Amino acid sequence: MKETTVSKRWTYKGKDCVILLMNELHHYNMYVESKHNIGYSESLSPDSCIDCHGGVTFSGVLDIKDAKPWYFGADFAHYGDRISLSN
């Protein structure tokens, strides 16, 4: 995994949620804990059961402190993507 900074981390409905700043690329990615590897493939796209702008782009293990076994996630590197880290 590229060098990252944890920008925000919280628990939602018992799941670990993480927003990482991808330092080299200067954009954010968001990850949500999964009970198992959902097996990312091209079929996990905007038409899949996970409705996500740009589709699911990650499924696997995160290299962060106190990581859970599996996460799935999406990147915020699409034209027009913006996030607010305030509550």
Q: What angle do CA 83, 58, 79 make, to 5 degrees?
A: 40
Higher pLDDT, 63 or 86: 63
Q: Give me the pLDDT at residue 11, please.
A: 95
Sheet holding 15-22, edge to edge: 4-12, 15-22, 27-34, 70-75, 58-60
pTM recorded for the entire structure: 0.71
d(CA 87, CA 71): 23
Domain ranges of the chain: 4-75
Structure confidence at residue 86 (pLDDT) = 57
